[in-house]
Amino acid sequence: MGEDVNDPQAEGFDAAFQRTQALLQGRQPIFEAAFRAEGALALADVLLPVGRGSKRGWRMVEVKSSTSVKDYHRDDVAIQAYVAHAAGVPLTAIALAHIDSSWVYPGGGDYQGLLLENDLSDEAFSRADEVRGWIAGAQQIVARQRAPKVAVGKQCGDPYECGFLAHCQRQLPAATHPISWLPGRRSNALQAHIDAHKLTELKEVPDALLNDSQLRVKKATVTGKPYFDRQGAAQALAAHKLPAYFMDFETIQFAVPIWPGTRPYQQIPFQFSVHRLTRTGKLEQQAFLDLSGNDPSLAFAKALLAACGERGPIFVYNAGFEKARITELAGRFARLSESLLALNERVVDLLPVARAHYYHPSQQGSWSIKAVLPALCPDLRYGDLDGVQDGGMAMAAFQEALSPTCSPARKAEIERQLLAYCALDTYAMVRMWAVFSGKTLEENLV
DNA sequence: GGAATCGTAGTAGGTACACA
DNA sequence: TGTGTACCTACTACGATTCC
């Protein structure tokens, strides 16, 4: 067993430094060790004792929840190594451990193989001068008591959002229709023009530099008039006859898998909603939600097959997501594989139809269903939902419901919120289908 | 005829955006 | 935090054209 310095932010940095110094006299692994030197501080995830006698030292391991080594991890490790060295810690090696997303949890609490270690000792130790420069630069800024003159840009949010971003953005004039609403990638020529002329407003961008969808966004935004190619949308959907199904999944993912046979960050479906629209215009809904805490995958797959029937298009929004989940379920459950893959053959994506044939200025450059729905069906609002209002909140609510500390009353509340959210997603697709198809849901649709 | 240039097509890699 | 798809760019290969 190792020694834990405790959460340094909770116990106070001074106490953490002192406890780290005391633990460094021993030979037990140390977690959350804290160092300071030359006006900088560092917190090491794990310190492991290595060597004997005069060769005694410590090996540092930084543990990251990502699935690969990122450049900013390398910078992080270089800083940790520098501060630890400067603080007098005899560091012999430093490694970065990250999650292996191809590893499958065998169960029984056996997590051997979850983490992959990369030795970055040579690289980290060779960057001492660079790190010294970073620290000196930061200290100069603090000493001057004046913010550096750096334009707001990509570096402000990548890899993490800067704590001063809101402050810096307040200094900029607010655009009425910002260029950031342009969808997709900007060509080099477009970006060069924007930079050269310091453009902020969409209306200032020359049409000739925009692709089709960017041009559509600009025109709708500047004129305030929605774009709707009714004929094109109806044509795109005409081939898909009723009865039709409208399907949406909610999934959960764990960096550290809890169910045997699953991988880190694997999207595991725990809930679906399916609306069925018959030829006579009758609308029915079926739902599945498993809050038992057991792996919901098999029950989910069986219930989905029962809900989707044998024939008829299955409309989804952004089909890649649901189809990938179905393919994964087919891979896990051989007996259901053929039936599940047959569902994928019936899937029809509404996202490309929306992208190609509809745009409302309120979408602000996005065709996410959360952006399209308020424009297309103003009476349907995700904001009116109680609690869960998007996929991320659904995931968090599901995790809360699985927690042993979640009360039965709270679990029931979460269940109600999840069912309402997922049902709205599929009902939204029904309404979207009706608008694009030029149908009214009250009519006999035969 | 050979070299240089241009346009097109295919491919690989990176990025943005959709979903959770 | 992940994955999948679409789009853009850069690169390469190839054929057609132009020039010497």
User: Within 7 Å: CB of A366 and strand C?
Assistant: no
Instruction: Describe the crossing of helices A391-402 and A408-437 by its angle, rounded to 10 degrees.
Output: 160
Residues A191 and A236 placed together within one structural domain of the fold: no
Residues A231 and A219 placed together within one structural domain of the fold: no
Boundary of a domain, candidates A100, A134, A168: A134
Protein CA A208 to sugar C1' B8 (Å): 22
Boundary of a domain, candidates A74, A108, A134: A134
Residues A444 and A328 placed together within one structural domain of the fold: yes
For A144-170, how does the pLDDT look when each residue is reduced to its tens digit (9 = 90+)? 888 777 776 666 666 666 767 777 777
Residues A303 and A211 placed together within one structural domain of the fold: no
Is residue A311 a part of any domain in this protein? yes
Is residue A170 a part of any domain in this protein? no
Is residue A445 a part of any domain in this protein? yes
Protein CA A159 to sugar C1' B9 (Å): 36
Protein CA A209 to sugar C1' C14 (Å): 29
> So what's the pLDDT on residue A150?
73
Residues A206 and A242 placed together within one structural domain of the fold: no
User: Within 7 Å: CB of A185 and strand C?
Assistant: yes
> So what's the pLDDT on residue A23?
93
Residues A68 and A199 placed together within one structural domain of the fold: no
Residues A195 and A330 placed together within one structural domain of the fold: no
Protein CA A368 to sugar C1' C1 (Å): 20
User: Within 7 Å: CB of A248 and strand B?
Assistant: yes
Is residue A436 a part of any domain in this protein? yes
Q: Which nucleotide is nearest to A392 (CA to C1')?
A: B20
The residue ranges of chain A whose pLDDT is under 70 are 1-11, 152-161, 163, 172-173, 184-189, 191-192, 195-196, 442-446
The answer for A385, left when phi > 0, alpha when psi is -120 to 50, beta otherwise, is: beta
Range of the domain at A58: 3-134
Protein CA A281 to sugar C1' C11 (Å): 54
For A357-369, how does the pLDDT look when each residue is reduced to its tens digit (9 = 90+)? 888 888 877 788 8
Residues A272 and A394 placed together within one structural domain of the fold: yes
Residues A204 and A353 placed together within one structural domain of the fold: no
Residues A202 and A243 placed together within one structural domain of the fold: no
> So what's the pLDDT on residue A342?
85
Indicate the SS3 state at residue A104: coil
For A277-327, how does the pLDDT look when each residue is reduced to its tens digit (9 = 90+)? 998 889 999 999 898 888 888 998 899 999 999 888 888 887 777 887 888
Query: Which nucleotides of chain C are near protein (any atom < 7 Å from a CB)?
Result: 1-10
Residues A235 and A211 placed together within one structural domain of the fold: no
Q: What are phi and psi of A128, to 5 degrees?
A: -60, -45
Q: How many domains does chain A have?
A: 3
Indicate the SS3 state at residue A246: strand
Protein CA A218 to sugar C1' B5 (Å): 37
Q: Which nucleotide is nearest to A98 (CA to C1')?
A: C1
* CB A98, CB A74: distance < 8 Å: no
Boundary of a domain, candidates A167, A201, A223: A223
User: Within 7 Å: CB of A183 and strand B?
Assistant: yes
Q: Which two tokens mark A52?
A: 């004997």
Looking up residue A333, the CATH number of its domain turns out to be 3.30.420
* Strand partners of residue A228: A358
> So what's the pLDDT on residue A2?
52
Residues A206 and A279 placed together within one structural domain of the fold: no
Cα-based distances in Å from A2 to A23, A32, A347, A385: 10, 11, 52, 46
User: Within 7 Å: CB of A425 and strand B?
Assistant: yes
Q: Which nucleotide is nearest to A248 (CA to C1')?
A: B19
Q: Which nucleotide is nearest to A390 (CA to C1')?
A: B20
Which residues in 379-408 of chain A line strand B, with CB less than 7 A from it?
390-392, 394-395
Is residue A111 a part of any domain in this protein? yes
Is residue A415 a part of any domain in this protein? yes
Is residue A139 a part of any domain in this protein? no
Protein CA A187 to sugar C1' C20 (Å): 38
Indicate the SS3 state at residue A172: coil
Q: Which two tokens mark A9?
A: 């932010």
Distance in angstroms (rounded) separating the CA atoms of residues A302 and A343: 12
Hunting for tokens 């550290």 — which residue is that? Answer: A256
Is residue A140 a part of any domain in this protein? no
Distance in angstroms (rounded) separating the CA atoms of residues A297 and A269: 6
